[in-house]
Structure formats: C-alpha cells, structure tokens
Amino acid sequence: MTPKEAVNFVTENDALIISVRFTDLMGTWQQFSIPVAHFDEDKFEDGYAFDGSSIRGFQSINESDMLLLPDPNSIFMDPFTEVATAVIICDISDPLTGQRYGKDPRFTAEKAEAYLKSTGIGDTIFIGPEAEFFVFDELLYENGPGGAMYKVDSQEAFWNSGKEGYSNTIKAKGGYYPAAPVDKLVDLRTQMTLHMQDVGINVEMHHHEVATAGQCEIDMKFDTLTTMADKLMKYKYIVKQTAAMNGMIATFMPKPIYGDNGSGMHCHQSIWKNGDPTFYDETGYAGLSETARWYIGGLLKHAPALLAFCAPTTNSYRRLVPGYEAPINLMYSARNRSACVRIPMVSKSPKAKRVEFRAPDPMANPYLAFSALLMAGIDGIQNRIEPPKPLDKDLYELPPLERAGIQQTPGSLRATLTALLEDHEFLLRGDVFTKELIESYVEYKLVNECDAVDLRPHPYEFYLYADA
C-alpha cells in the first residue's frame, strides 16, 4: 500500500481518529491519537515527533527528540473504539541524522530478514507462533513495604468446585480440548477470532489449553518474520481488549497459577529460497535437510542467550521447570513435546517441514525474539553446527544417569541475561542487533525486573520462616 492508498483507506472507512503506534524495547505497544486532519501523505516522510526519553530502554533526556514514520502497509481499523479509528504502525528514526533508530525492535526484524537474503541461505523466513494466554474473571495484585498479595480467579477453576453456583470446573492439567459447558470461553475466543480476522490475521483454529482457570490458544497461520511480529502485536491487543469488554482480564504472563501448566509460545520456523522449502529431505531424520539440522544446532547452542529475548521475564522461569510439559531439555526430536526443539510430523508435504522451538513464551518482544531465533539458526547453518543426537524418548522419565548428560535451559532470567552478555556476537552480524540495544535491554531487565523481584520478600517465605 502506498501513502496515498493509506490516506484513501482512512477516508473510505470514515475514520475520524488515527491511532499512531510503535513498540518499545520490552515489546509493549505505545500509542497516541490524532484527528484525521493531521494525517496526510507528507507525514509518511515528515513523521510524528515523540519523547524518546520517556520510553523504556530508549533515549537519554538530552537526546529525547525522535520521529515516528508511519508504515502505509500496516494500517487497519480498530475494532473496539466507539469513534471510527484507523491504526497505523510506525518505524522510528533520528530527526537529526534521518537514520532508522538502532533500538527500534521493528527495525531489528527488518534487518534480520535482509541479512538472511544477504547470506544466500534463503530469501524468506516463515514464523508461526502459538501464543497461549489466560482469561480470568478476577486478577488482583498489590505490592508495598507493608505487604504484598495477588489473587486470580475463574469460574472454570478447580478450586471453586465446592462452591455453590460453580459447576463443570476444570481440574489442574485437565483443560485440553473440552467441549462446553466445561469450556466456558468458546464464545469469547470466537469474538477474539472474528476481530483478528477483521484486522487481517488469518486464524486457523482456537481452543482451550491444558491448564485450569481459562487458559486459551488461538492459532494464526504462519507468515514472514516482521509481518508475523506485527500480527502478534495485534493478536495481544485484541485478546486483552475483547476480554476487557466482556468484564474479564486476559494476561500473557507465563505462569500465573501455581501447580498447573504455564503459557508458552512455541515458534515454528522454516527457511525458503526461490519459492522452495530448504528444511526438507526425505532421507534425513524426521525428513530434515542438513540445513534444518544445522539450524537446530544453532538454536540449541545459543539457547541460553536466546531465552533472554524469548522467555524474557522472571516469571518465565516459573514455567521452565521440570514437569508441566515445559521444554527445558536442550535436545531435538520428532513428535516429542518434552524436547526443546520438536519436529512436527503432521504432514508429508515438503512445504510443511519446519522446526518448532518450544521454550519461548508470549511475554517476548516478537520483533526481537523472532530475529534472535533466525540469527541463531543462520549461525548454525553457516558453521554447520551439529545438534546432539535426537532422542525419541520421554525426556522427563529418563534414568538419572542418562538425564545427567542433557543440557537444560537456564533457571532464571538473570542467568539468561548473563548468557546473552557472554554470547551475542552471532546477533551482531549484518548489524541486525546493535551492542547498544543489547546493553540497554540487559540493563533494564537486571535493574527493573531481576533486582526488583530479588529484593522483595516473597509471601511464601512468611509461611516458611515467620514462626521459626
């Protein structure tokens, strides 16, 4: 779509307001609204000014002026606003140099796709994320020097099974694919699905997920890297808005419930060249080509560093623990959901051959996470990194001696951030990631998340120690 076509789109849809949006370093949409009178073709070159020092991980206060440049291909109508509103996603640039901003996550994604082409390995990377989430009827939390608490609740939750007025609750780990009335969120997910289709997302299916208390999944058809990252930002916005409009609260927090499965974001990936898939070889293990096997080798070698972007919260490591179907074992295997990398075996078509990296969760900034996965895979291909031999066993049930030789994912966000500082050269190739981006990201996470959580008493510590 050209800038002129984007302006015409606004007119054709009778939009009165433009929501100008961009993504911060941590993966949250930021936005401001303008009347349509201030949206014309010139804005696609002149941009909109904003204060970069007020955005997490961006500019210092003495370098605060930044510009947002609308991407005409990204425009869509917001399905929720009372007044007709068009949404446009923006790229970020420096007003003095005119150059794209090195810490703009969307720019990182675009550079990753360009780097793939420059290597000659392929010209297209397809990404298919499976983002899970919870929908609660109640989500409360409070933190202060004198106390802390949280509470989540759902009409589906098994802990409500003994209360009057509650029926057909879902026991822990019992939520996969039940029909109504056990699944009480069918209509809500359908509303979400229809909204997603309205904004250009191709939804393949929706269903209840394994955990109790409203765990859901809506599956999107795969797409190219930057486009899929844009779609995931729309996806999260629609999920949260639809829940809110129905008096509920949606969260992409990976592990909000103790003792049940957490929410992941398994990422399916495949590289294509000249319209042909490069990951297929009928003679290879699970139908994988050497290219795919080396791609997996890169994912597994760099997994500790990758998780700084792919499982980017302290809460992520409440999910990445033994049990609960968590993919903590740095192995690959066909059909095996206990491995960190799984090879889906649902089709014999070469076009369907892909690798599924199962450790990410939906708190990830998709532009950075998808880019980091691609860069690790490219490094694996370029250096012909061989992954450990595939293991077609339940990795959770291995004897201790056999399990001892299998590397596992790091146990904390702090550990993955340390791994990223020690292992990031592969991300810098082609100037895809910049050192400044990585350093700003790590510093923010260490201070505002790792230290902030570590310094506070945990409520369970009072249970353990208060009467000692």
Helix (H, G, I), strand (E, B) or coil at 199: coil
Q: How far is CA 288 from CA 283, 294, 295, in A?
A: 8, 10, 10
282 is catalytic: no
Contacts for 145 with CB less than 8 Å, ≥ 6 apart: none
For residues 276, 280, 282, 288, the Cα torsion angle rounded to the nearest 10 degrees is 170
- How many C-beta atoms lie closer than 10 Å to residue 454's C-beta? 11
Beta bridge partners, 249, equal 136
132 is catalytic: yes
342 is catalytic: no
130 is catalytic: yes
195 is catalytic: no
Contacts for 361 with CB less than 8 Å, ≥ 6 apart: 252, 254, 262, 263, 264, 265, 310, 311, 313, 316, 319
Catalytic residue among 71, 78, 110, 132: 132
Beta bridge partners, 17, equal 35, 85
Q: Tokens 């419930």 label which residue?
A: 257
219 is catalytic: no
Contact 216, 99 (CB under 8 A): no
Contact 364, 309 (CB under 8 A): yes
Catalytic residue among 21, 208, 319, 358: 358
Residue count (the chain): 468
Residue 220 to residue 231: CA distance in whole angstroms: 9
356 is catalytic: yes
Helical spans, DSSP H, in 287-423: 290-301, 303-310, 316-319, 366-382, 400-403, 413-422
Beta bridge partners, 19, equal 33, 87
Catalytic residue among 106, 195, 266, 302: 266
Q: How far is CA 128 from CA 217, 223, 443, in A?
A: 13, 7, 30
Residue 241 to residue 235: CA distance in whole angstroms: 10
Pair type for strands 76-77 and 355-357? unpaired
Catalytic residue among 51, 65, 402, 443: 51
Burial class of 125 by CB neighbour count within 10 A (0 to 12, 13 to 18, 19+): buried
Residue 215 to residue 95: CA distance in whole angstroms: 44
45 is catalytic: no
Contacts for 39 with CB less than 8 Å, ≥ 6 apart: 7, 10, 18, 86
Catalytic residue among 78, 113, 183, 209: 209
51 is catalytic: yes
Q: How far is CA 407 from CA 63, 303, 339, 377, 387, in A?
A: 43, 10, 11, 18, 12
Catalytic residue among 78, 137, 217, 361: 217
Catalytic residue among 113, 230, 356, 379: 356
Instruction: Cite the active site residues.
Output: 51, 130, 132, 209, 217, 266, 337, 356, 358
